[in-house]
Structure 1
């Protein structure tokens, strides 16, 4: 089962999730990474859930059109929209306040 490590505001949160997990859906039903993950619409329209992928990016699918539209240049810096990802492998993420508000 995938292990998710989330770094935010100087703290680290880590937990195991079931395969094919979407972290925004989990946060919405008050499961890890709730309440630590910033998110809003869950549909790729606001980019509030944007995180920098520190490890595990090689296991993710290519960015979809919503990620390309919302993240632009930040895709090249390793950012992804968590609402658009269904995790199958371990991943390490960084969510920065500036990235979440963009």
Structure 2
């Protein structure tokens, strides 16, 4: 099972999730071990769930059109939308207090 390390507000949370887990879906049904994940729509429209991928990006698919539209050049800085990611391998994410500005 993939290990997710999630960093937010100076805290580090670590837990295992089932393979092919979407973090926002799990948070929405209260089955996600990281209660501090910021999210809203779950459909790639608002970018509230934007996270920096600190490690494990090599296991993720290329950004989809929603991520490209919402994040723009922030993709080059390692940002992704958690609602668009299905976690199949270990990953480390950080969510900043400020949302990344889309370009």
Q: Which runs of 5+ in 2 are unaligned?
A: none
The count of corresponding residues between Structure 1 and Structure 2 is: 102
Q: Distance in 2 between matches of 1:38 and 1:31?
A: 15
Aligned-pair Cα RMSD in Å: 1.4
TM normalised by structure 1 equals 0.95
What stretches of structure 1 of length at least 5 have no aligned partner? none
TM superposition shift of 1:33: 3.9
Q: Which residue of 2 aligns with 1:21?
A: 21
Q: Does 1:45 align with 2:45?
A: yes
TM-score by length of 2: 0.94
The equivalent of 1:57 in structure 2 is 57
**Distance in 2 between residues matched to 1:43 and 1:20, nearest whole Å:** 17
> Runs (4+) of structure 1 moved beyond 6 Å?
none
